[in-house]
Structure 1
């Protein structure tokens, strides 16, 4: 992990700065955290509330994103980040760090935060300027105050208090949430989880105490999927926890290719109250 990223990290036990040691990160008080062979550091300092995506979900997500099916969203996120002041970009619930890697541009450093070890193994290798740590946002991010130029939250849990704490003055929070038509064709055909009609209300409830929304964008893009890609799309999202894989597979097998779906995402920019 690059020193440029480590300088932003803090010990999850005592909040002191961390420094590289042999295959580990260590604070002045002697708390030590191993760096896995794949390059990520485990800074949970306790059992996470949620262990994150399974290895199967991570494989499915990487296959879909690598094939370019969510490229419109990656491009939109990168464009928003490019308009912000220079500095560290932190993605919370980063998964494989696909969006973070796209947003770094020529000179930014990035930190991928997730609870899934399977995801972090890939996130740590996603870009030469990305560091990856295992941490649970509900237990506090292992980051210094006022340290991030941008925080990304792409379909991930939100903690307004932690986002506000780690953002530097003038920083921006970029949030992506599914819009009403997101993957509607597959939702209908396969009986997947629908978008919560109270989504907008929940978004504001999670952020309004600390942030004001200063920008909003709608990202829509038609998708043409193979049967394998449609199955991966189901397997990478929340419906993977609530559907029977054999039933999904059989239903998709009877569908003609290409299988159509619509990427439909609300992308918003939030800034802390001064």
Structure 2
């Protein structure tokens, strides 16, 4: 709920603290007078510009993702993230912190983490459609619409665990909101991820240099503490293949409609545990 996470949020306009005000509907107020209404589904938009960027996931993409993840196809990835997050939380200096998911989508991975980590969770995503589902994914999740490329509406050193799963990465802001004793868990696809579907449908391939580029991206602010590969082969129906294509960036190319049959799909990702420099 928003009230559970408000202490770690900040105004996107002036960076001052926010409080919950309930006299005429639920909204967040800052000391400079900026106000943000909490939507009926339970999320709040803290986009500084007021409008959602064109890259936000659509309602259709979010629905496809919810259906695919709900079927358990990525449970192995979620379990790995939850294990790493639990280890990171155990090593944190104190309990006065939150778990922050940057690019949280439907809240699927964050909810799995909160089942293991007894702290509030902030689900940040630029899509209001994703935030609507994330707000209901777990009782301790507060969902916020925000842009990863802008300054995050989160107070400095708020998080002891920061998740970033298949999502845009902003190392400067990630370092600012993470506690010195905290850990960031970044999950990215490997070059052979979904290789069968890439060959069959001409989907976007993963750059072979992705591991090197990730290390370079974080080098000034984080150190790679450990790496954890996760690989499996799924057997999917045609509908499931269509959902898998339709829930990600390939959906912008409308290739999900071209699915002809089911088949095998290699799921290959790597989770990086990063410690702040």
- TM-score, normalised via structure 1 length: 0.93
Q: Is the 8 A contact 2:2 2:42 kept in 1?
A: no
- Is 1:33 aligned to 2:36, yes or no? yes
Q: Is the 8 A contact 1:19 1:26 kept in 2?
A: yes
Q: Which deviations, in whole Å up to 9, do the C-alpha atoms of 1:66-99 show, x marking residues without a partner?
A: 0000000000000000112354111111110100
Match in the other structure for 2:132: 121
- Is 1:157 aligned to 2:168, yes or no? yes
Match in the other structure for 1:182: 193
Alignment of 1:49-128 (within 5 A): 49-85=53-89, 86=95, 87-104=97-114, 105=116, 107-128=118-139
Q: Which one is further off, 13-22 or 157-166?
A: 13-22
- Is 1:20 aligned to 2:20, yes or no? yes
CA distance in 2, matches of 1:150, 1:101: 13
Q: Is the 8 A contact 2:10 2:154 kept in 1?
A: yes
Q: Which deviations, in whole Å up to 9, do the C-alpha atoms of 1:161-206 show, x marking residues without a partner?
A: 0000000121001000000111111111111111112212321232
Quote how far apart the aligned CAs of 1:240 are: 1.1
Match in the other structure for 2:92: none
Quote how far apart the aligned CAs of 1:106 are: 5.4
How many residue pairs match? The answer is 266
- Three-state SS of the structure 2 residue aligned to 1:200 is helix
Q: Which deviations, in whole Å up to 9, do the C-alpha atoms of 1:118-146 show, x marking residues without a partner?
A: 11110111000000001112111111111
CA distance in 1, matches of 2:256, 2:71: 22
CA distance in 2, matches of 1:30, 1:81: 36
Match in the other structure for 1:8: 8
CA distance in 2, matches of 1:51, 1:38: 22
Q: Is the 8 A contact 1:50 1:115 kept in 2?
A: no
Gaps of 5+ in 2: 90-94
* Cα pair distance change 1:167/1:266, threshold 3 Å: same
Match in the other structure for 2:151: 140
- TM-score, normalised via structure 2 length: 0.92
Q: 4+ residue stretches of structure 1 with deviation over 4 A?
A: 48-51
